[in-house]
Amino acid sequence: MTRLPHLTRYALYLTLLACPLVGHATQSPPPTEAADKDEAKPAQRAPLTERSDLEAAALERQLAASEQQQLNAAGTTFLALWRPANDTAPMGAVILIPGDEESADAPPTVGPLRRRLPDAGWHSLSLSLPDPQGANLPVRPAAPPASGDGKPAEAPAEKAPEPVTPAPSSEAPPTDAEAARAAHVERVFARIDAGVAFAGQQQAKVVVLLGHGSGAYWAARYVVERKPANLTHLVLVDTRQPEGFDAPFNDLLGQLTGKVGDFYYRDSAGARQAALARKQLSQRQKQPVLVQVSLDALPGNPDVAQEQLFRRLRGWLDKHAGGAK
């Protein structure tokens, strides 16, 4: 009976000695596991596919291969939709530029026009543009780190201003948003370049650039900045300014010297006022080449609205682009 307390005490001592060893074993993983964790780095996420590329891939599955043209724009291929004129003596080629968020076959304007222009003796080439980048916002500055009590840390005391050496140039470096917009302009122009070159390969006597929505802005800006020698006819349909691009459309319009067809919908007061401002600008600059054509929106009759636009466009082409036989 006297040995039992000693055995109990001895077992207790062994238990107390084993506890730190067990705790140390659970807290310190084997060296091999730690090395494996250090080497396992998160994989880089692949860039997301642009919406315009997804729409182009869908069109490739839906449309006949004979309508599809893979054009090269600065080393990058993109989809364009081509239909030759249904005429032994074609009048020329109309290159259609869709607006933001539109595909090369988008209703209710670009798609119907590209399909019907060949029946009027014109080749049609509809381009697909990259995703819009004008609305990108500059990166916000990082917030000051929080202190231990959850409140923002106080800014350190300001030091006495030191003399600043003037920079060689007074221009501020471009922001991320400005760089994205400049790159977007070059991508759009490269695609229009490819479309104009393709139309030239088809021996088109006349090349007409037709822009819808914000595509009208890109068409006008391309003509003003690139000044293509073989492109002197421009059609603008429901002109809109792309978000984030501050070059006013009327400034571009004032620099155009070719023949311009300005198609607008008179149902909207804003559209009427904008059209009046464009007309007055052309009158002040003695630019008789601007011809305005008013349209009715007809939201309840899309087929009639499309027929109206096609007939008015065909009339403008016959009169101003040498399309009359």
Cα angle, residue 118 at apex, residues 132 and 216 outer, rounded to 5°: 25
Question: Torsion angle, CA of 290/99/309/266, rounded to 10 degrees?
Answer: -70
Q: What pLDDT score was predicted for residue 148?
A: 43
Comparing 161 with 79, which gets the higher pLDDT? 79
- Give, to the nearest 10 degrees, the angle between helix 176-201 and helix 214-226: 80
- Residue written as token pair 């923002």: 152
Q: How confident is the model at residue 101 (pLDDT cuts 50, 70, 90)?
A: confident
**Count of domains observed in the chain:** 1
Comparing 159 with 243, which gets the higher pLDDT? 243
Q: What is the mean pLDDT of residues 23-38?
A: 53
pLDDT in tens, 48-80: 678 888 999 999 999 999 999 999 999 999 999
Residue 79 domain flag: yes
Residue 140 domain flag: no
Structure tokens at 11: 């077992």
Q: What pLDDT score was predicted for residue 197?
A: 96
Sequential DSSP letters for 107-139: TTTHHHHHHHGGGGTEEEEEE-PPPP-TTPPPP
Residue 141 domain flag: no
Comparing 38 with 55, which gets the higher pLDDT? 55
Residue 31 domain flag: no
Mean pLDDT score of the chain, rounded to an integer?
82
Residue 208 domain flag: yes
| pLDDT at 263 exceeding the cut of 60 | yes
A 10 A CB-CB count for 312 gives: 16
Residue 223's domain spans which residues?
64-131+175-320
Residue 277 domain flag: yes
Residue 30 domain flag: no
Question: Can you give the CATH number for the domain in which 84 is found?
Answer: 3.40.50.1820
User: Any idea which of 5-9, 142-146, 178-182 has the lowest mean pLDDT?
Assistant: 142-146
Residue 9 domain flag: no
Contact (CB, 8 A) for 95 and 192? yes
